[in-house]
Amino acid sequence: MAAFEYHALNRRGREEKGVLEADSVRQVRQLLRDQGLTPLKVNPTRRVEKNVGSTLIQNLFRPSLSTNERAMVTRQLATLIGAALPVEEALMAVSRQSEKATIQSMMLTVRAKVMEGFSLANSLAEYPKAFPSLHRATVAAGESAGHLDLVLNRLADFTEAQQESAARIKQALIYPVILFVLTIAILAGLLGYVVPDIVKVFADSEQELPWLTTAVISASEFIVDYGLVLLIAVALMGLGIRQLLSLPALRLNWHRQLLGLPIIGKLSRGTNTAQFASTLSILSSSGVPLVEAMRIAGEVLSNTWLRSLVSDATVKVSEGSSLSSALERSGHFPPMMLHMIASGESSGELDEMLSRVARHQQQDADLLMSVLLSLFGPMMLIIMGGAVFTIVMAILLPIISLNQLVV
């Protein structure tokens, strides 16, 4: 049976849409009429075409899932499969449970593939944007090991932890971003509107203005005359840099240089190694072979230079090298992480040690991020206060000098 999307009119003349499973379009129309609906349009849900030439175009229009939605779907499947429901019935239940037509269509399409004899992992490959390679490889390992419900629960925990970490960072960024925008707006307002009016007071006087006042007046004139041009130039420069970094060679070199910067480099290295350790832990503990787990874990890294180093380490592990020694050659993984992995390899408990490494690295990355974000807010306040103080002093100094001349 296949899944079909429909648009129909109910008895009140209102349009309804949804997804039904049937053998043909004709059967879908009959089912709709039996429900008292008048079918307007019935189309099969989108399936992955095998035409290589149109793959890139189709990837742009394939539906996707947010991290929260993926975690919810995974958790529901784990609960239903753990309750001894067959996979196809679990997929049907998740489809009916969801209120979004996209998820309904997705689950029914995956169910149709499962009923055709494909595994759940291969069926999820119908939607690579919604279920990335990490998700599919973990599900495949759970199916082969016969512990699909346990693996899905572990995968849901991993996805929810990622969502919580991203939500904490976004929430912590709200206050500093607001301060930054206010700082720019206040400075632009003072230099563009307040300072020019104050300058008129001293325009007719022949007194020599202090250097600070002269500098602020020059900055104000520049903002008034070229502020819009400067804003456009900054926007074009940002777009140009983004286009340049889209080139693989330049992006690789930039990410390599980024790791050498004092604070940003440490932050990038910490977040990427934490992501690598977490992904490798969930894959390895789910039964995915180490070489395949390293390949998938390397693909999720945002830093392309670290990604290339992990790729080289994967080749060395496939040639017989240990994981700790292969990662040590890269020179960018923390010594504590390497020692813990080496201990796990020597004791035969690599999966457990990788789980500890993942927790340790994630805690370090979260701590570093929280420290930087906690410093960013006061730093913006200091910059804003210093800028306002400078402008106020530039206005007061000529007034003080004028009073002294009068006395």
pLDDT of residue 49: 41
Output the pTM of the full model.
0.67
Q: 84 by DSSP, 3-state: which?
A: coil
Written as one string, the DSSP assignment of 111-144 is: HHHHHTT--HHHHHTT-TTTS-HHHHHHHHHHHH
| Residue 237 pLDDT greater than 90, yes or no | yes
Q: Does domain 147-407 have CATH number 1.20.81.30?
A: yes
Average model confidence (pLDDT) across the chain: 80
More confident residue, 84 or 56: 84
Report d(CA 213, CA 122) in Å as an integer. Answer: 70
- Residue range 198-229, pLDDT digits in tens: 766 666 666 677 788 788 888 888 887 887 88
Q: 13 by DSSP, 3-state: which?
A: coil
Host H or E run for residue 231: helix 211-245
More confident residue, 55 or 346: 346
- Residue range 11-50, pLDDT digits in tens: 777 777 777 767 677 787 888 888 888 777 787 765 444 4
Q: Domain map of the chain by residue range?
A: 2-44, 147-407
DSSP letter for 262, please: S
- Residue range 344-390, pLDDT digits in tens: 888 888 888 888 888 888 788 788 888 887 887 788 888 888 888 88
pLDDT of residue 45: 66
Identity of the residue numbered 366: D
Report d(CA 80, CA 221) in Å as an integer. Answer: 68
- Note whether 293 and 280 are within 8 A (CB): yes
Question: What's the rounded mean pLDDT across residues 153-173?
Answer: 80
Tokens of 379: 């730093």
- Note whether 264 and 258 are within 8 A (CB): yes
Sign of CA dihedral 168, 171, 172, 173: positive
pLDDT of residue 403: 65
Q: 19 by DSSP, 3-state: which?
A: strand
DSSP letter for 192, please: I
More confident residue, 110 or 146: 110
